[in-house]
């Protein structure tokens, strides 16, 4: 029996290999796109509400491109993309999904240029490691080929690249392709169930006692980062208020950003490989419904009611944000669906204090970050604390206490049929 076909859209990011001249051309386009956004924002705030329309904004953009010569380095299609993105930002604001769009500063804005038409890219594969892509008003550019793309004879109406976006980070320029493919719907995954506890010391602890570790920076890189941060703090303290950032300080900032971007790239790669392996092995993946924004709030408090252990809480907040639990859950969700599985969320309170063997919460059982010893006299179970929490997460799912979305909020719903717990 043939499986039904379904469309899937995804993005693929690849590193560009640019010459210095090509870097300058793309930088000029990115600055022109940022300036176009700021001009649109000024136009929006000055024009009366009754005269704000897409047609009027388009006419203003065309007039600006005629009067300001250096805006012409931005292709016309990219300028139209800036206009559509700006209006979509206001639509998201009106519907309560985001804040109002604002002015884009030169140093605090991620530089990017959109290539909305896929036919303009003209992608070809040179050999196993490299491909070539056409960038409007720049020319042919090499990019790192790390994923099979629907190009050439493999491209058709259902399998094609619909566009791309050029994005710059501290490691250089990258191209993010927008890909749409038609593929067979996956069969239901017959794999086992697994509970996952997310932590800082152990990023992912599974209920079957397996763990995953990741190291994003070497000891040498950590020492270099610490030295650069101290150097930046010293140079910042020597700068007078109101003075511009010196070239030495800006160079130090760039080195810090490069180290952190390298660590983030390694962490993202580790997340992709780990979540893909979990999605292939397990049919049902159960995680906690973590309120990460609340967990990483500052402990400073107020002047009348100052917080306690502020420095320790700040360090914990940085560690939690560095693990990117939300990104891991997002990857698990769409990868489980691709392999025929599912991801479920259960309530988070009590999973780390409850004994997974007897089910009781006894004070003092969580003896350290890594050790759990049940203080119940009738139990006495001991083991790894993260493994204990992962087993509790899986038990909550088997009891039917799963979170579902209802009217825009998460509620607990007990399933009608409770799956029996397997023997440990």
Smallest CA-to-CA distance from 373 within 387, 383, 358 is with 383
Distance, in Å, from the CA atom of 14 to the CA atom of 176, rounded to the nearest integer, reads 6
Residues 356 and 392: beta-carbon distance below 8 Å: yes
User: How many H helices and E strands in the chain?
Assistant: 9, 16
List, for the chain, all residue ranges whose pLDDT scores fall below the cut of 70. Answer: 1-3, 295, 299, 301-304, 307, 309, 367, 403-424
Euclidean distance between CA atoms 133 and 143, whole angstroms:
7
pLDDT for the residue numbered 243: 80
User: In terms of Cα–Cα distance, which of 356, 80, 90 is closest to 205?
Assistant: 356
- Alpha-carbon distance of 396 to 194, in angstroms, equals 11
Give the SS3 label for residue 283: coil
Going from N- to C-terminal start, the domains of the chain cover 1-185, 187-214+271-424
Number of residues assigned to the chain? 424
CB atoms within 10 A of CB 16: 20
Residue with tokens 């996952």: 196
Q: What is the DSSP letter of 157?
A: S
Q: Summarize pLDDT for 90-128 with one digit per residue, the tens.
A: 999 999 988 999 999 887 888 999 999 988 899 999 988
Provide the pairing of β-strand 124-125 with 112-115: unpaired
- Model pLDDT, residue 40: 92
Q: From the centroid of its chain, how far is CA 5?
A: 28
Spatial contact of 311 and 369, defined as CB atoms under 8 Å apart? no
DSSP string, 62-124: HHHHHH-GGGGGS-HHHHHHHHHHHHHHHHHHHTTSSPPP----SSSS--EEEE--GGGT--E
Six-digit token string for 258: 């490069």
Distance between CA atoms of residues 143 and 134, nearest Å:
10
> Tens of pLDDT along 248-282?
988 999 999 999 999 999 999 999 999 999 999 99
Q: In what order do the strands lie in the sheet with 193-198?
A: 211-212, 204-206, 193-198, 284-288, 342-346
- What does the alpha-carbon distance between residue 65 and residue 73 come to, in Å, rounded to a whole number? 9
CA distance 20 to 138: 12
Backbone angles phi and psi of 266, in degrees to 5: -65, -40
C-alpha span between 235 and 245 (Å, rounded): 10
Q: Report the alpha-carbon distance of residue 422 to residue 424 in Å, rounded.
A: 6
Copy the structure tokens of residue 322: 């560095």
Per DSSP, which regions of 105-232 are E strands? 112-115, 124-125, 130-135, 139-144, 160-169, 172-184, 193-198, 204-206, 211-212
Phi first, then psi: give them for residue 328, nearest 5 degrees.
Answer: -65, -45
How many angstroms separate the CA atoms of 325 and 380, rounded?
Answer: 31
Instruction: For residue 324, give the nearest of 409, 204, 417, 423 by alpha carbon.
Output: 204
Whether the CA torsion 286, 270, 26, 110 is positive or negative: it is: positive
pLDDT at 65: 87
The pLDDT value recorded for residue 140 is 94
For the record, the structure tokens of 200 come out as 């800082």
Structure tokens at 230: 């101290």
Tokens encoding 366: 């969580």
């Amino acid at each position: 029996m043939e499986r039904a076909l379904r469309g899937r859209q995804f993005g693929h990011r690849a590193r560009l290999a640019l010459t210095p001249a090509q870097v300058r051309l793309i930088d000029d386009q990115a600055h022109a796109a940022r300036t176009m956004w700021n001009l649109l924002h000024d136009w929006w705030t000055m024009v009366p509400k009754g005269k704000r329309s897409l047609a009027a904004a388009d006419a203003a953009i065309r007039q600006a491109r005629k009067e300001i010569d250096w805006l012409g380095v931005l292709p016309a299609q990219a300028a139209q993309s800036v206009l559509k993105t700006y209006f979509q930002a206001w639509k998201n604001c009106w519907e309560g999904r985001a804040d109002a769009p604002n002015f884009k500063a030169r140093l605090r804005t991620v530089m990017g240029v959109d290539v909305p038409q896929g036919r303009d890219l003209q992608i070809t594969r040179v050999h196993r490691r490299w491909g070539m892509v056409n960038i409007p008003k720049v020319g042919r550019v090499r990019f790192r080929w790390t994923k099979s793309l629907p190009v050439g004879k493999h491209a058709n109406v259902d399998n094609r690249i619909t566009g791309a976006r050029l994005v710059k980070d501290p490691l250089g320029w990258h191209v993010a392709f927008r890909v749409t493919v038609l593929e067979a719907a996956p069969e239901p995954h017959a794999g086992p169930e697994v509970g996952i506890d997310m932590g800082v010391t152990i990023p992912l602890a599974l209920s079957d006692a397996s763990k995953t570790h990741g190291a994003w920076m070497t000891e040498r890189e950590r020492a270099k980062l610490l030295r650069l941060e101290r150097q930046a703090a010293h140079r910042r303290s020597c700068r007078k208020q109101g003075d511009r950032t010196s070239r030495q300080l800006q160079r130090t900032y760039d080195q810090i950003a490069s180290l952190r971007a390298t660590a983030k790239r390694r962490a993202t790669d580790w997340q992709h490989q780990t979540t893909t392996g979990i999605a292939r092995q397990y049919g049902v993946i159960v995680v906690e419904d973590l309120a990460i924004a609340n967990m990483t709030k500052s402990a400073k408090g107020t002047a009348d009611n100052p917080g306690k252990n502020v420095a320790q809480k700040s360090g914990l907040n940085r560690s939690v944000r560095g693990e990117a639990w939300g990104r891991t859950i997002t990857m698990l969700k769409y990868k489980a669906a691709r392999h025929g599985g599912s991801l479920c969320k259960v309530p988070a309170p009590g999973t780390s204090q409850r004994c997974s063997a007897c089910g009781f919460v006894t004070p003092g059982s969580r003896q350290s970050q890594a050790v759990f010893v049940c203080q119940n006299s009738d139990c006495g179970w001991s083991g790894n604390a993260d493994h204990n929490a992962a087993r509790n997460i899986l038990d909550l799912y088997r009891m039917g206490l799963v979170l579902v979305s209802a009217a825009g909020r998460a509620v607990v719903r007990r399933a009608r049929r409770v799956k029996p717990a397997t023997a440990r």
